[in-house]
Structure 1
């Protein structure tokens, strides 16, 4: 079997315009397999359409932190924005999102890969690029959340909206960034994996990061037309790449620092 490419996307956050731009780029490259690492909803205006589109085109869909807490039927929300994003979804989508698997394991070019949203223990535990050694090693561990599968050599995750690649101790950790809510550089980013599927033997293997420009102003206009709350925060994130928490607090960028709340 020859080399195959798999596109990894994540953190679309209701930004349908960004998603369609990335999907068009993926299709233009002839890539047919798409794995989604979660956070389909929240922050942006069209979570319903994003969920439907990802169910249509993604071979693998994984649970994100927003997908877990936003559709919770027993949770009471204390902000207008959270109530708006939840109500914008259909109830059948609430059920689908919360039932998504925690992780996805597979082999590629003789390497054991594991994909999840945020960490090996929980979709709500954030591991940033400036992690310590214990956090790094812990990302490769089997936990109650991952189950007892083969220990991975390569782990890909998302959540922080901050793409990076790191190899230590014979293992590789990478973050695929965000399609719909990329911070610092607001241009959507996704990852292409290339290798030989299910091969037990070593073979060529690559991880490529791809940035895809799109019409962010058009997406902001949609949010405005739909009456979505927190428009100034959304504009800060998708136009300037500045986390809305920093905008509201009037502070310098903190999203990627440990001191930032999750």
Structure 2
């Protein structure tokens, strides 16, 4: 049994199509989505049309929530761009998304953590902006009460896998459409994948248990970087072009 895990598309339809083609090439039909589908200066309307037609298990991310809880005037630019392209039916689709979901009785799904859709599960941000891995005890505390053997989560945009002391497997597939960003909470910091490829994960169940393969898929990322630049979003353009912030070299 194989399951493809996608997350953090952020309106990048070219990256999503490349990943879906790669999943199909692996012969995998079972796909789940961990949220943050649309917000970004790219092509959120196309992503919405594609995802709503697919009808795959999806949980709501923090940026999905902003699109239905905030007024456009109060939104950050990436959310405002997405909101302007989404149809009322797309917003209704977001409203219907659960915060958590259990897939096939084995896979627990959430966007960030079960308690907070805007909190890193594995990482801690320090006052100086550096990011470090939390202790195992801190990570396990957030997993209390989850009975499923595999925990799927996202939000940091950084692929990761670890086993808890009781054997449960945790998997972050990384981001399909946004390989780097900066944030101001809880302190100003950057998250950078270091490459511009579209990332997702495959979880396979075999006789010996669960295994994970991380896939990094090429696509026309420079087209998306140029689109972000045309919206006046240089950090987005840099991340899409290189996987790093501040290194795009794209004319704006």
- Structure 2 match to 1:199: none
| Residue pair 1:84, 1:228 contacting (<8 A) in 2 also | no
- Structure 2 match to 1:115: 109
| Residue pair 1:35, 1:58 contacting (<8 A) in 2 also | no
SS at match of 2:115: coil
Distance 1:82 1:67 in 2: 8
2:148 to 132, 140, 152: 152
| Residue pair 2:204, 2:212 contacting (<8 A) in 1 also | yes
| Residue pair 1:34, 1:58 contacting (<8 A) in 2 also | no
What's the TM-score, normalizing by structure 1? 0.77
| Residue pair 1:84, 1:229 contacting (<8 A) in 2 also | no
- Quote the offset at 1:91 in angstroms: 2.3
- Structure 2 match to 1:187: 197
Moved over 4 A (4+): 78-81
Change (3 A) 1:85 1:7: same
Comparing 187-196 and 31-40, the one that deviates more: 187-196
User: 1:228 and 2:231 equivalent?
Assistant: yes
- Quote the offset at 1:154 in angstroms: 2.2
- Tell me the alpha carbon deviations over residues 136-186 of structure 1, each in whole angstroms, 9 at most, x when there is no partner: 1133224xxxxxxx6233211111000111113122222110000123222
In structure 1, the gaps of 5 or more residues are 143-149, 197-201, 249-262
- Structure 2 match to 1:139: 142
- Quote the offset at 1:94 in angstroms: 1.7
SS at match of 1:104: strand
**How do 1:48-197 and structure 2 match up within 5 A?**
48-74=45-71, 76-77=73-74, 79-106=76-103, 112-129=106-123, 130-142=133-145, 151-170=147-166, 171-182=168-179, 183-195=193-205
Corresponding residue pairs, total: 224
- Tell me the alpha carbon deviations over residues 67-86 of structure 1, each in whole angstroms, 9 at most, x when there is no partner: 00123254642655543232
Distance 2:176 2:196 in 1: 9
SS at match of 2:48: helix
Distance 1:185 1:135 in 2: 29
- Tell me the alpha carbon deviations over residues 201-242 of structure 1, each in whole angstroms, 9 at most, x when there is no partner: x76432111111111112234445xx5341x12111111212
What's the TM-score, normalizing by structure 2? 0.79
Calculate the aligned-residue CA RMSD, in Å.
2.4
SS at match of 1:38: coil
- Structure 1 match to 2:188: none
- Structure 1 match to 2:18: 21
| Residue pair 1:51, 1:93 contacting (<8 A) in 2 also | yes
SS at match of 2:225: helix
Change (3 A) 1:118 1:80: closer
Distance 2:150 2:75 in 1: 39
SS at match of 1:174: strand
| Residue pair 1:7, 1:33 contacting (<8 A) in 2 also | yes
Change (3 A) 1:9 1:61: same
